[in-house]
Each structure stands twice: as structure tokens, then as C-alpha cells.
């Protein structure tokens, strides 16, 4: 069991392997333990703890007797344990690791498993103890070094305070700040007084020698001495006005009054001058006081800046000391905790259960092998064929044709080893009896499907997609019918990719398309019509070919030419059987157009080429025309048994019956037949 955290006697933090707090860290821790358990170093310690006979017994279970193996070729027991015997698994949703050891000797397997776990727990405890010792040594050295740094920092801070005559920087800054405040207040008051005095001076200067204006100034006229002299002067003036009503200017009383007014006026101006002089003196005093206060303020500001600079340096030194003190406290606390943890066995791994002695072998497991065999058999013989059937929807068997297409099978043509088209087109004349009889069987199926073989008979031969062999089937079917005595004409209506002329190495400049484009009437003797250019094939005189007369991509418009109906009607009068070779109806609609001139349709499908859905769709297209699908010829059959599928009647109904009838003695039977 790997516990999330170790039991703690005191509340201390572990130096290594801190508690796992979430699932991702738990997963990392468990995977780490698994890899350590699988290490070669631990396996080596387990091997060293075993006795020599036990080591030999462990090894010989995998190698056989060691005496028979050269020493240099003997395997290493450590590698055998890790690769062959040991299995470590993590039980889901738990902190439990399962250690399994597999060996032929069950007691030895139990011994190795128990030894593995105990040695691993011991190694983890040793590792933890070594880690704690290294941590204690490191923290001890760090404590001494940090203590020295702290003492040096405190000494530097005290020296800085003494050198700059600072009780504390904060107190010095407070004193300077208060001084700056007082000076600023005094300067403000002095400036206010100076502004007032200067205003008085400007008013006195503006009044000039106008006595009445000066006396109207309250700060001059309001002075007690000036007001008394001015009142006395006003009294003399009033007295003169009274005397002037009685006496002349030179009367002694009048002269005395004038002398008195002059003396009082001079005294008044002298008093006014003294008052004005007082304000001049006050202005000078205030100006000098402001200059002195400004000087003191500048000095205080300079002192404040000096103290601020000292404060910055002081704070830097103080913060360094505080940081060193905090680190020192933390390291000291961790050192004490680690010292205590060193004395405690706090491993997080313990044994939940010792290895159990097995009562039965774990391998080979007969039940598992049997179940696996049954599953494998079911997959190979049931699941795999069923899956192939679901995924591969190509036509593979006769049963596919009748089940999905819904048409009878007219016959099958086996895959020919000769891949030349010219040779394939002459299978009806082949020396291989099997190939000839396949075509004969198709002829017989046609006779059975038609009931009465009424003349004239016209057949459309088509397929779903190209390369299914419909042109080769048309050529061979015509040759087979001609061999049965029917005057047969193959009309190459595959105007897009004509091929009938190539099978017989004929020129294709004249033919159906050339005649339809011309305005020439139908000749009385069709064989002599140079525009049609009907070719005679073979020596029977019953096999003929009307080639396409070129190729075009506009086949639809040509086949719908009204002259086509006239030509087909005339050809039916001349020949017993008309076979129209047309393009694949699943690609072009030409076969459906030609179907309006024919009686029936023979559909060609090649094994493992086209899909069931495509074939069914193509057959439905032909059934909408006048020439309904009479049946399907299964072409290119490579595996007759696969084509027969689960229905054995097919294998006995078509090619297989001919192979059975002729087999390896085919030539002998053929000779007997001809005789």
C-alpha cells in the first residue's frame, strides 16, 4: 500500500515525497514506484539475497540444466526475473500495488515476491534517511551562513545611522517637515503684510500733494496726530471765513489767522510725511524678512532632500536586514523540523498482504485456451464469412443473380486463360469441349425460355458496366445460333466503342452509322448494298455482321433516326435471328433505345465485377423497354463452386455437369460423338 501521507508524531513537513494532493500527482507517484520495482538494481539486490541453489533453481526453470549450457551463454538471472517472472500492476481506484512472481516452483515464487517487497520498502527507507541526512547537513550550513549575513547587515545598518547622526530617519524627517510647514506659514503671512504696505504706498504716491485726497486715506488721515492737526487747520479756516466778513485782509486778526494756518499746514504735512515714512520702513522690513524666510526655507528643503536620500538608503539596508532575518528564521525552523523528522521512520509504503502460496498453476489456463479457440473458430468460420458477405456486395454466385436480380440464369461461361479478345470471340469454335458446351447450354436455355423458337427473333445483348464481356458473348451467341442452322446477323449498335469488326479483322468505314446518315434507299439485295457493307463470317453461310460504320459520342440521336426502324424491319425479313450488341445500359441509355426494335434482352453479368444493386438497376431499365430481359448469362466464372454457392443444383445444372460428362477424357468423348 502506498499511503497518501505518512503518519506524523509531530507536525513537521517531510523533506522528500510531499503528500500527493490530486489524482495527477498520485498517478505520477504510483507509476514511479512501479518503475522502481522493475529496476535492475532492485532485481540485483533480490538475486544477491538468494542462496546459490535458489538462484540455480530459478534459472533452470527457463533454460534447463545449466551444466549443458556454456558459461558465456547462460542468461543473467536479473534479466530473467524482470522479463519472465515479475509483474507489477496498479489496482484501479486505489493506492495498492500488486507484485506477482511467476515460476514453476510455487514456494520459490512466493519467496521472491515477499523478498522483492521487503527489499523495496527497505531501500525506500534508506533513501529517505539519506535524503534527510543530506537535508540536515545542507540546512545546518545554510543556518550558519545566514546568521553571519544577518549580523553583518545589522552592523552596517547601525553604522549608517551613527555616521549620519540619525536617531531614526522617520523622526528626523518629521522635524524637518514641521520646520518647512512653519516657514511656509510665516512667509505667507509676511507676503500678505507686504502686499498691504505696498498698496498703502501706491495710494500715497497716487494722492501726491492733494491734501484732501491724502486725508481721505484712512491709514494716513486716520492717525490721531494727523487728525488733530487737520481739525485745527479746519478750525482756522472757519475762523478766517468769519473774520473775512468783518475785517480786511491786512487787519491784524486776519494776518494772525493766515500765519496760524500756514504754521498748522506745515505741521500737518510734516505729520503726513512721518506716517508715509513709517510705511516705507515697514516695506523695507517686510522685504528683508521675506528674503530671510526664503533662505531658511531653501535650507530646510535641502535638508529634507538630504534626509530623503538617507531614508532611501536606510530603507534599502533595513529591508535587506529584514529579508535576511526572515530567511534565517525559515531555515532555522526547517532545520529543526528536519532534525526531528530524521529520527522518525515515516515511510509511506507498507505491506498489505504477503504473497499467497498458489494452489493451482496460472498457466497454461485450459479454460482461457478453450474459450479463445471457440472464439477464434467462430470468427474464422462464421464471423469472417458473414463480414465479407456484408462488405462485398458484388455478384459472386448464381444465387445472387436469382435473389437480387430476379431473373433466371441462361448459363455460365468460365474464365478463359486466353486474354486476347479475338480468341475469346471465337469460343464457339474452340477445341475445348467445355467452352463449346457452355455456349450450347446457353442455346438450350434460350430454347427452353422462349418455348417456340419463332422467326424472326431479335435479341439485345447488354450489361451493367464495361468490361463484362457482353460483345464477346454476343459474337459467340451468334456463332452458336448460326451453327444450329439459323441465319444470324450481329448488328454492332455499340456506336461509342465498336468492337465486333475487330474480332474478325474487318474494316469499319462502312456499316450502320454510315447508312443511317446517307439518303440512299434500302436495296432489294441487302448483301449487295455497299452502304451497309454486311460481312459474311465463317464458312457456314449463316453467320453475318453489320458493323457500326465508325464511332461517335452522339449515339442516341443516330439510333433514334426514323431510317433505323425501316432498316430493322427489312433485316428481320432477311435474317432468322438479329443480335444487337449495345453499350452497357447502366452507363448509357442506347440499349433501351435499341430495345424498342427487339423482342428480348439477354443480360451479361461478370463474376466479381459489378455490384448487385447496379445489376438490378440495369435490368430494371431494360424491363421498361420493349425488350424485356429474358435471362442472365454469368460470364468469366473463375470459381464454379463459389458461383454455385449453397445451391448444389447450379453446379449440376451448368458447367459442372459438362465437366463431369467430359472431364479429363473430353477429347475421347468428343471423337466418339463426331463418329
pLDDT (0 to 100) of residue 654 = 41
pLDDT digits (tens, 9 = 90+) for 478-522: 999 999 999 999 999 999 999 999 998 999 988 999 899 888 888
**To 5 degrees, how large is the angle CA 266–CA 214–CA 218?**
120
The overall average pLDDT reported for the chain is: 83
Higher confidence at residue 176 or residue 191?
A: 191
For residue 645, the model assigns a pLDDT of 64
- Most confident by average pLDDT, 104-113, 246-255, 335-344: 104-113
Split at pLDDT 50, 70, 90, the class of 419 is low
* Residue of 383, 379, 385 lying closest to 645 (CA atoms): 385
The span from the CA of 436 to the CA of 286, in Å, is 146
Structure confidence at residue 649 (pLDDT): 42
Over residues 395-411, mean pLDDT: 88
Query: How many angstroms from the chain centroid is the CA of residue 457?
Result: 67
Cell of 340: 526531528
For 385-411, what is the mean pLDDT?
82
What nine digits make up the cell of 246? 468783518
What pLDDT does 570 receive? 93
Which pLDDT score is estimated for 465? 93
Q: Which has the minimum average pLDDT: 56-60, 132-136, 605-609?
A: 132-136
Per-residue pLDDT band for 335 (boundaries 50, 70, 90) equals: confident
pLDDT band, residue 14 (cuts 50/70/90): very low
Q: What is the pLDDT of residue 212?
A: 79
Indicate the pLDDT class of residue 670, thresholds 50, 70 and 90: very low
pLDDT on residue 453:
76
Once rounded to an integer, what is the mean pLDDT over residues 332-359?
77
Q: Is the predicted pLDDT of residue 665 greater than 80, yes or no?
A: no
Range 83-105 average pLDDT: 90
pTM assigned to the model = 0.46
State residue 391's pLDDT score. 74
Residue 597: the pLDDT is 93
- Mean pLDDT throughout 626-646? 82
E strand or H helix at 659: helix 655-662
Which of these, 468, 492, 478, lies nearest to 618 by C-alpha position? 468
Res 461: pLDDT:
96
Range from 7-21, 231-245, 567-581 carrying the lowest mean pLDDT: 7-21
Contacts of 280 (CB under 8 A, 6+ apart): 201
pLDDT of residue 418: 66
More confident residue, 68 or 343: 68
**For residue 8, is pLDDT > 80?**
no
522 touches 516 (CB < 8 A)? no
The pLDDT of residue 345: 54
3 state DSSP class of 436: helix
Query: Which of 377 and 166 is assigned the larger pLDDT?
Result: 377
- DSSP strand pairing (409-414 vs 628-637): parallel
Indicate if the pLDDT at residue 11 is higher than 70. Answer: no
Amino acid at each position: 500500500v502506498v499511503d497518501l501521507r505518512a503518519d506524523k508524531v509531530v507536525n513537521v513537513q517531510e523533506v522528500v515525497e510531499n503528500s500527493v494532493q490530486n489524482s495527477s500527482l498520485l498517478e505520477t507517484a504510483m507509476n514511479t514506484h512501479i518503475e522502481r520495482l522493475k529496476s535492475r538494481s532492485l532485481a540485483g539486490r533480490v538475486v544477491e539475497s538468494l542462496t546459490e541453489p535458489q538462484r540455480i533453481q530459478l534459472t533452470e526453470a527457463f533454460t534447463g540444466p545449466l551444466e549443458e549450457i556454456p558459461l558465456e551463454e547462460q542468461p543473467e538471472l536479473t534479466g530473467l526475473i524482470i522479463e519472465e517472472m515479475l509483474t507489477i500492476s496498479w489496482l484501479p481506484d486505489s493506492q495498492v500495488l500488486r507484485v506477482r512472481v511467476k515460476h514453476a516452483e510455487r514456494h520459490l515464487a512466493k519467496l521472491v515476491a515477499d523478498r522483492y517487497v521487503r527489499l523495496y520498502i527497505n531501500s525506500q527507507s534508506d533513501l529517505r534517511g539519506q535524503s534527510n541526512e543530506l537535508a540536515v547537513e545542507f540546512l545546518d550550513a545554510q543556518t550558519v551562513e545566514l546568521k553571519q549575513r544577518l549580523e553583518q547587515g545589522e552592523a552596517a545598518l547601525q553604522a549608517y545611522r551613527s555616521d549620519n547622526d540619525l536617531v531614526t530617519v522617520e523622526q528626523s524627517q518629521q522635524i524637518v517637515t514641521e520646520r518647512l510647514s512653519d516657514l511656509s506659514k510665516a512667509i505667507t503671512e509676511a507676503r500678505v503684510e507686504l502686499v498691504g504696505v505696498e498698496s498703502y504706498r501706491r495710494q500715497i504716491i497716487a494722492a501726491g500733494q492733494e491734501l484732501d485726497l491724502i486725508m481721505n486715506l484712512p491709514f494716513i488721515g486716520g492717525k490721531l496726530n494727523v487728525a488733530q492737526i487737520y481739525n485745527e487747520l479746519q478750525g482756522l479756516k472757519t475762523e478766517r471765513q468769519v473774520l473775512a466778513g468783518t475785517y480786511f485782509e491786512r487787519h491784524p486778526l486776519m494776518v494772525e489767522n493766515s500765519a496760524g494756518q500756514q504754521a498748522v499746514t506745515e505741521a500737518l504735512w510734516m505729520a503726513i510725511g512721518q506716517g508715509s515714512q513709517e510705511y516705507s520702513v515697514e516695506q523695507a522690513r517686510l522685504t528683508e524678512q521675506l528674503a530671510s524666510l526664503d533662505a531658511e526655507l531653501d535650507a530646510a528643503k535641502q535638508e529634507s532632500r538630504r534626509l530623503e536620500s538617507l531614508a532611501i538608503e536606510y530603507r534599502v539596508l533595513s529591508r535587506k536586514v529584514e529579508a535576511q532575518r526572515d530567511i534565517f528564521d525559515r531555515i532555522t525552523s526547517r532545520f529543526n523540523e528536519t532534525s526531528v523528522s530524521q529520527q522518525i521512520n515515516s515511510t509511506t509504503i507498507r505491506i498489505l498482504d504477503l504473497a499467497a502460496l498458489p494452489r493451482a498453476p496460472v498457466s497454461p489456463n485450459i479454460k482461457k485456451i478453450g474459450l479463445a479457440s471457440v472464439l477464434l473458430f467462430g470468427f474464422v468460420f462464421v464471423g469472417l464469412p458473414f463480414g465479407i458477405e456484408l462488405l462485398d456486395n458484388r455478384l459472386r454466385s448464381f444465387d445472387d443473380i436469382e435473389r437480387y436480380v430476379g431473373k433466371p440464369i441462361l448459363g455460365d461461361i468460365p474464365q478463359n486463360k486466353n486474354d486476347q479478345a479475338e480468341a475469346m470471340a471465337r469460343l464457339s469454335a474452340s477445341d475445348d469441349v467445355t467452352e463449346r458446351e457452355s455456349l450450347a447450354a446457353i442455346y438450350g436455355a434460350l430454347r427452353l425460355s422462349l418455348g417456340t423458337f419463332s422467326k424472326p427473333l431479335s435479341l439485345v445483348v447488354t450489361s451493367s458496366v464495361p468490361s463484362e464481356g457482353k460483345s464477346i458473348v454476343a459474337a459467340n451467341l451468334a456463332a452458336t445460333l448460326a451453327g444450329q442452322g439459323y441465319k444470324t446477323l450481329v448488328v454492332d449498335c455499340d456506336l461509342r466503342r465498336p468492337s465486333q469488326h475487330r474480332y474478325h479483322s474487318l474494316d469499319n468505314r462502312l456499316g450502320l452509322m454510315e447508312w443511317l446518315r446517307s439518303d440512299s434507299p434500302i436495296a432489294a439485295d441487302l448483301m449487295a448494298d455497299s452502304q451497309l457493307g454486311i460481312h459474311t463470317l465463317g464458312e457456314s453461310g449463316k453467320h453475318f455482321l453489320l458493323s457500326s460504320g465508325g464511332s461517335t459520342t452522339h449515339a442516341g440521336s443516330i439510333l433514334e433516326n426514323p431510317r433505323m426502324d425501316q432498316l430493322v424491319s427489312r433485316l428481320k425479313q432477311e435474317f432468322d435471328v438479329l443480335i444487337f450488341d449495345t453499350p452497357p445500359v447502366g452507363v448509357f441509355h442506347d440499349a433501351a433505345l435499341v430495345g424498342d426494335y427487339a423482342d428480348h434482352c439477354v443480360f451479361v453479368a461478370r463474376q466479381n465485377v459489378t455490384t448487385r444493386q447496379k445489376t438490378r438497376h440495369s435490368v430494371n431499365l431494360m424491363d421498361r423497354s420493349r425488350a424485356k430481359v429474358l435471362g442472365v448469362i454469368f460470364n468469366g466464372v473463375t470459381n464454379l463452386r463459389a458461383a454455385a454457392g449453397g445451391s448444389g443444383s447450379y453446379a449440376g445444372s451448368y458447367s459442372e455437369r459438362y465437366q463431369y460428362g467430359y472431364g479429363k477424357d473430353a477429347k475421347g468423348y468428343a471423337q466418339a460423338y463426331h463418329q
